[in-house]
Structure 1
Amino acid sequence: MEEFARVGDVELCYEVLGEERAPTVLLVMGLGLSMDWWRDDFCHALVDRGFRVVRFDNRDVGRSTHLTGRGIGPWGFLTRRADPVYTLGDMADDAAGLIARVAPEGAHVVGASLGAMVAQEIAIRHPARTLSLTSIMGRPGDRRTGKVAWRMVPEFLRPPAADPVEGLVASFRRIGSAGRTPEDDEDVRVTARRAFARESGDGGSRQLAACVGERDRTADLRALACPTLVIHGDRDRVITPSGGRATADAVPGAELLTIPGMGHDLARWTWPVILDGIARVASRTRA
């Protein structure tokens, strides 16, 4: 059941699954994507592993507050120039405020893609709220690592597809993992229809501006004390694997888990490895 929490100047839409007393995992989704993209089966698998799961719409997507102001266009993306309306740090503060509301004892923070960078900022800016950090398909913001491969640049410049649902299916095939199945394609269709029914506005372009304008977090990552897992696919061409390696190198004691064949998606065949990793790094906190 969807709920709402006022956090600073924004209202976040969120959902809680699992037992109230179980340790909380906060899931932070990527660029322009609502919480629906943390698929139900993935969340229930975390619940089955003994966690309470909180997924939410970042600001500017889904049913959370949509802001105003310019985002970023193709030229700004290509030249890496942005004048963001808000920062990844602002998005992290939103998430930390939600943790304070739903899990005062803290949460295991898991982020994917842009959500990984937000998750890193949560751990940096709000260490008392962060029990562990799992950064999936992320980078440290140093502008040297985790760059978009040139052959993937057209993906960000494509005009909208005539059928937006099938356009997303095709996009995930291009950027995604080897071994994607018809079930993965159907996941995209079901999730996209559900997300589109809850969506309004153009927040993705403002989130992209925040991503392009990200700061270098390397020095702050070196000061983290929470157990940290970094997950990256060796086939990722949207945030190339050097971003994952640099993140893991920066965080003291971080575990780097490289998944052969994984691209810039969460194909179902990657779930067991990712879920086991989240549980493993969380157990280090419990210990």
Structure 2
Amino acid sequence: MTDRFCPVGAGREVCYRTDGDPSGTPLLLIAGLTLDLTSWPREMIDGLVAQGFYLIRFDNRDVGRTTPATTPPPSLWRRALQRPRQDGYDLADMAGDGVAVLNHLGVQRTHVAGMSMGGMIAQTLAARYPTRTLSLTSIFSTTGSRRVGQAALSTQLQLANPGARTRAEFIRKHLRLVEHLAGNGFAPDRAAAAEYAARAWDRGLRQAAGDGVARQINAIYKSGDRTAELRRITAPTLVIHGDRDPIVHPNGGRATAAAISGARHVTIAGMGHDLAPGVIDRVVRLIAEVSRCSSEPCSNVSRAV
């Protein structure tokens, strides 16, 4: 539960935490857009530690306590047209921060799991650092192709709201968004979501809520369609998606699994874009299963659970 820091050059530091026994099996967790390292549900952290994992989680650029970027954010029209600034960082740079933390800890090979934008970063890490990746789990994420994984109009309208100016306003807006994204099969944990929002605001999101989030979005657009790169992934791969995801359409998960040779695609009925209490045990079990595929073969199947 202690924030620690990894120097990554040019006066930058990446904030990270670890959970579990360092002699356990390493698992790098990568959070999604706007989310810091504390966004992973405590129940999920405890469940993965009980499975024998040594968890490593870090703050992405421009959230939490990792040194924020200084490049200008993309303008509203650039974001609307998906025309990124070329002077900003991309998903590969964000994956590099994760690798820097692994180097700092002396971890040579690790399982990798990411949600949403974190899934994109995890995919990029697995593609570009194959010798460091034991397995990949991509949770409600996509390939970067504009033909798949697009948000519903109702979600786009939610995200178009101006950023919060106060802690209380941020908590209210976060709760409203979580309820919108949760799907119809699993109720979100409102108390945990409110607690996370307050903690995230205090850990630095109040500074990053405007320009920082825009720079993260720019990183996604700058990285473009990564389908060809995903075909280079050789690690055992699990793709998890809900069939009620309103921000990353389920066809983004299907496209991700189709691009990665031997990937296992699991659809969770009723799940939206939220790690709600009702799905956590299943997600933990699935991550543990794919982690064992680094020593035994996994089948390339698509199924609902």
- Does TM, scored on the shorter chain, surpass 0.5? yes
Aligned residue number for residue 26 of structure 2: 24
Q: How does 1:141-180 map to 2 (within 5 A)?
A: 141-160=144-163, 163-180=169-186
- Asked whether 1:195 is paired with 2:197, we answer no
User: Which one-letter code corresponds to 1:89 in the other structure?
Assistant: A
Of 225, 239, 242, the match for 2:248: 239
Q: CA deviation at 1:262?
A: 0.9
- Separation in 2 of the partners of 1:217 and 1:205? 20
8 Å CA contact 2:29, 2:57 repeated in 1:
yes
Aligned residue number for residue 138 of structure 1: 141
Q: Deviations over 1:201-250 (max 9, x none)?
A: 22111101111222222122112110000011111121101110000001
Aligned residue number for residue 34 of structure 1: 36
Q: CA deviation at 1:158?
A: 0.8
- Separation in 2 of the partners of 1:14 and 1:79? 34
Q: Deviations over 1:16-37 (max 9, x none)?
A: 1111111111100001111010
Of 85, 89, 92, the match for 1:86: 89
Of 62, 66, 78, the match for 2:68: 66
Aligned residue number for residue 6 of structure 1: 7
User: Which one-letter code corresponds to 2:94 in the other structure?
Assistant: M
Q: CA deviation at 1:180?
A: 4.4
What residue ranges of structure 1 are gaps of 5+ in the alignment?
none
Q: Deviations over 1:72-91 (max 9, x none)?
A: 34433322122151101110
Identity percentage over the alignment? Answer: 38
- Separation in 2 of the partners of 1:103 and 1:150? 44
Larger displacement relative to structure 2 (72-81 or 228-237): 72-81
Aligned residue number for residue 301 of structure 2: none
CA separation of 1:233/1:73 partners in 2, compared to 1, >3 Å: closer, same or farther? farther
User: Which one-letter code corresponds to 1:57 in the other structure?
Assistant: D
Larger displacement relative to structure 2 (265-274 or 154-163): 154-163
- Separation in 1 of the partners of 2:9 and 2:289? 33
- Separation in 1 of the partners of 2:185 and 2:90? 35
- Separation in 1 of the partners of 2:184 and 2:18? 32
CA separation of 1:257/1:133 partners in 2, compared to 1, >3 Å: closer, same or farther? same
- Asked whether 1:285 is paired with 2:294, we answer yes
- Separation in 2 of the partners of 1:168 and 1:61? 15
Q: CA deviation at 1:103?
A: 4.7
CA separation of 1:255/1:86 partners in 2, compared to 1, >3 Å: closer, same or farther? same
**SS of alignment partner, residue 62 of structure 1:** coil
8 Å CA contact 2:186, 2:271 repeated in 1:
no
What residue ranges of structure 2 are gaps of 5+ in the alignment?
297-305
Q: CA deviation at 1:15?
A: 0.7
Q: Deviations over 1:26-60 (max 9, x none)?
A: 10000111101012221111001111111111111
Moved over 4 A (4+): none
- Separation in 1 of the partners of 2:185 and 2:232? 38
Aligned residue number for residue 53 of structure 2: 51
- Separation in 2 of the partners of 1:245 and 1:107? 24
**SS of alignment partner, residue 177 of structure 1:** coil
8 Å CA contact 1:100, 1:106 repeated in 2:
no
Q: CA deviation at 1:179?
A: 4.1
8 Å CA contact 2:110, 2:135 repeated in 1:
yes
8 Å CA contact 1:177, 1:267 repeated in 2:
no
Q: CA deviation at 1:67?
A: 1.2
User: Which one-letter code corresponds to 1:171 in the other structure?
Assistant: L
**SS of alignment partner, residue 249 of structure 1:** helix
TM (normalized to structure 1)?
Answer: 0.95
Aligned residue number for residue 123 of structure 2: 120
8 Å CA contact 1:229, 1:254 repeated in 2:
yes
8 Å CA contact 2:236, 2:294 repeated in 1:
yes
- Separation in 1 of the partners of 2:74 and 2:270? 31
